[in-house]
């Protein structure tokens, strides 16, 4: 399934107007209570501090959202905001070119830019210079920004850097023990803020937080460490896993013993026939009294005195209230009377995907047969009373050997061990890598690649990729889910670095890091 079709299936399954967890959703604005003081602090420092202001946090921590909120909350009449990105222009020349272009400065140099800032200050307008992805700036670009932040006596721009924590070490190497910047570190969301964030994301796409249970929200918060970018990935993966599990449940209905009513009625009818046949058979094998006519001995107890001919030449049995005789099979033409539902209800019979008993299993249906009539009888009309009766020993000797080959159910029912193919919980646990995960340090990280409801698919993927790929079994909404992971890393940063080195095919599934402790918890719950 292509990525486009997968997205369409995801949106259609949950009836979403768009992907609620896409990195950039137009019009989405979520600002938790803890970030409002940070925004106020930035405005305060911009007005009263002459330091370069640095906002740090890991990837996906909401730095860009805070920068957008800072721009949106400024007075447009008194502040001109210049937003530049360090991506693809991390040196001084590239950075100054973007600033000069935004301020309509012809010369790409610090002096010309500061002169324009002073001119704007004389008109009562300040300049906010905001740099995204600032950790990608080189030393020359950082030095240029420090020079701009220092400004001139008549005016200076207010410089804001938004980047990862590695930016701090670069700035400290340039400050030479002089305080030239102020750092604000973003904090992760609390679990309640994570819930509010998910609710607002889903509400924007036409649904609500009811798509997640309380336990799922707790798992999402723990797996993401409360960072919004990772919350998006984990929440989307959780919804896709639930979608796969629900679709698998529809395609593979339970093969238990909840049979339809029509099958139960069919079984009841077959049982009645079998019991009636078993009850009638002893009356046929009794030795006739001396001098009794042979045709009277051949009549079954429920007959009307004269056997009715039928197309197969088999003796007929009539039941009370039924005007149509029912032929019983002769020796050599025995027919099975147990069908699929009855065999299944009989207990433990192995079946293939189409409900047909598997060859070689103990599911071969038993047969009910009847012996051929004695040698002195025919399938046609009854003989005349003058016919010479056959002595009783002759009839017994003729009828006795016939049941021997037909009544041999023992070899069919005997191989009972074949009926237990599914009871292997210990083997599944070992195959799913539970022992390996239990032996890892809970503080380590693994990279979750994907989840599937088919263990065969998980085994195939791990076998194809090899190396450090493993999988474990968890239970999601009462259904088994096999989760494939990659590697074992001492910290989250190492896991993120490993993701970038994965093959493009694997990266397309948006893998994400998670703690070993969370995996161990799921394994404990599964047991």
Sign of the dihedral defined by the CA atoms of residues 224, 226, 230, 235, in that order:
positive
Instruction: State the average pLDDT for the chain.
Output: 73
Q: Are 66 and 187 in contact (CB under 8 A)?
A: no
Beta strands in 291-386 (DSSP E): 316-317, 326-327, 335-336, 367-368
Residues 243, 217: Cα–Cα separation, whole Å: 17
Tens of pLDDT, residue by residue over 281-329, are 655 544 444 444 444 444 444 444 444 444 444 444 444 444 444 444 4
Alpha helices in 176-326 (DSSP H): 191-204, 214-224, 228-251, 261-285, 294-298
Instruction: Quick: pLDDT tens for 26-72.
Output: 767 777 878 888 988 898 988 888 888 999 999 888 888 888 889 99
Residues 63/64/68/69 CA torsion (nearest 10 deg): -20
- What is d(CA 343, CA 263) in angstroms, rounded to the nearest whole number? 11
CA distance 284 to 303: 12
- The pLDDT value recorded for residue 177 is 63
Residue 154 has pLDDT above 90, yes or no: no
Q: What percent of the chain has pLDDT over 70?
A: 65
Q: Are 343 and 363 in contact (CB under 8 A)?
A: yes
Provide the percentage of residues in the chain whose pLDDT is more than 90.
Answer: 24
Distance CA 134, CA 129 (A): 12
Return d(Cα 230, Cα 103) in angstroms, integer.
36
* Residues 25, 64: Cα–Cα separation, whole Å: 13
Backbone CA torsion sign across 6, 12, 18, 23 = negative
The Cα-based distances of 390 to 219, 275, 377, 399 in angstroms read 86, 30, 10, 13
Q: Which helix (H) or strand (E) holds 169?
A: helix 166-175
Residue 124: left if φ>0, alpha if ψ -120 to 50, beta else—which one? left
Helix (H, G, I), strand (E, B), or coil: what is residue 415?
Answer: coil
- Is residue 122 a contact partner of residue 133, using CB atoms and an 8 Å limit? no
More confident residue, 361 or 232: 232
Say whether pLDDT at 466 is over 60: yes
Span 206-217, average pLDDT: 91
CATH architecture type of domain 425-526: 2-Layer Sandwich (3.30)
The string over 444-453, giving b where at least 16 C-beta atoms fall within 10 Å of a residue's C-beta and e elsewhere, is bbbbbbbbbb
CATH 3.40.50.300 fits 35-185, yes or no: yes
CA distance 348 to 416: 9
Q: Return the higher-pLDDT residue of 481 and 310.
A: 481
Helix axes 228-251, 191-204, angle to 10 degrees: 60
pLDDT tens, position by position, 405-463: 444 444 444 444 444 444 333 333 334 566 898 889 999 999 999 888 889 988 988 98
Domain extent listing, the chain: 15-25+190-251, 35-185, 425-526
The residue count of the chain comes to 527
Q: Once rounded to an integer, what is the mean pLDDT over residues 381-398?
A: 43
Handedness of CA 21, 24, 26, 32 (dihedral sign): positive
The sign one gets for the Cα dihedral 480, 483, 484, 489 is negative
Residue 377 contacts residue 295 (beta carbons within 8 Å): yes
Q: Give 527's pLDDT tier (boundaries 50, 70, 90).
A: low
Q: Bigger pLDDT: 249 or 392?
A: 249
Q: Is the CB of residue 167 less than 8 Å from the CB of residue 56?
A: yes
pLDDT at residue 253, rounded to an integer: 52
Q: Residue 526 — pLDDT band, cuts 50, 70, 90?
A: confident
């Amino acid at each position: 399934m292509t990525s486009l079709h997968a997205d369409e299936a995801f949106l259609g399954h949950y009836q979403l107007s768009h992907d609620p967890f896409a990195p950039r959703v137009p019009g989405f604005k979520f600002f938790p209570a803890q970030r409002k003081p940070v925004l106020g602090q930035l405005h305060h420092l911009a007005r009263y501090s002459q330091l370069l202001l640095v906002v740090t946090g890991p990837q996906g921590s909401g730095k860009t959202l805070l920068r957008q909120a800072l721009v949106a909350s400024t007075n447009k009449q008194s502040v001109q905001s210049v937003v530049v990105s360090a991506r693809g222009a991390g040196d001084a020349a590239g950075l100054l070119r973007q600033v000069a272009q935004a301020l309509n400065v012809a010369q790409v140099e610090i002096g010309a830019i500061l002169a324009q800032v002073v001119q704007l200050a004389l008109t009562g307008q300040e300049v906010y210079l905001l740099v995204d992805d600032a950790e990608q700036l080189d030393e020359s670009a950082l030095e240029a920004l420090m020079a701009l932040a220092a400004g001139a006596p008549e005016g200076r721009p207010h410089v804001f850097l938004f980047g990862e924590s590695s930016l701090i070490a670069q700035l400290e190497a340039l400050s030479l023990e002089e305080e030239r910047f102020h750092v604000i570190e973003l904090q992760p969301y609390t679990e309640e803020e994570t819930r509010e964030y998910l609710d607002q994301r889903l509400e924007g796409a036409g649904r609500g937080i009811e798509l997640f249970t309380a336990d799922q929200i707790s798992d999402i918060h723990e797996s993401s460490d409360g960072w919004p970018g990772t919350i998006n990935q984990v929440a989307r993966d959780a919804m896709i896993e639930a979608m796969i599990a629900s679709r698998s449940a529809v395609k593979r209905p339970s093969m238990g013993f909840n049979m339809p009513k029509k099958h139960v009625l069919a079984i009841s009818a077959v049982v009645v026939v079998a019991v009636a046949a078993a009850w009638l058979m002893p009356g046929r094998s009794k030795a006739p009294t001396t001098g009794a006519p042979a045709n009277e001995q051949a009549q079954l107890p429920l007959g009307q005195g004269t056997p009715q001919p039928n197309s197969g030449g088999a003796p007929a049995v009539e039941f009370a209230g039924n005007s149509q005789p029912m032929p019983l099979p002769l020796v050599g033409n025995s027919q099975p009377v147990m069908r699929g539902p009855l065999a299944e209800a009989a207990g433990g019979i192995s079946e293939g995907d189409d409900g047909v008993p598997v060859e070689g299993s103990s599911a071969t249906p038993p047969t009910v047969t009847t012996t051929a009539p004695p040698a002195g009888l025919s399938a046609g009309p009854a003989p005349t009373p003058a016919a010479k009766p056959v002595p009783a020993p002759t009839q017994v000797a003729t009828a006795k050997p016939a049941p021997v080959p037909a009544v041999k159910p023992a070899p069919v029912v005997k191989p009972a061990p074949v009926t237990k193919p599914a009871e292997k919980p210990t083997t599944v646990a070992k195959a799913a890598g539970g022992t390996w995960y239990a032996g890892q340090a809970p503080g380590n990280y693994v990279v979750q690649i994907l989840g599937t409801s088919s263990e065969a698919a998980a085994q195939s993927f791990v076998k194809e990729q090899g190396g450090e790929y493993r999988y474990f079994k968890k239970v999601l909404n009462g259904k088994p889910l096999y989760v494939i992971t990659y590697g074992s890393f001492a910290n989250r940063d190492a896991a993120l670095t490993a993701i970038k080195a994965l093959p493009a095919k694997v990266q397309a599934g948006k893998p994400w890091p998670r703690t070993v402790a969370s995996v161990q918890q799921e394994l404990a719950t599964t047991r």
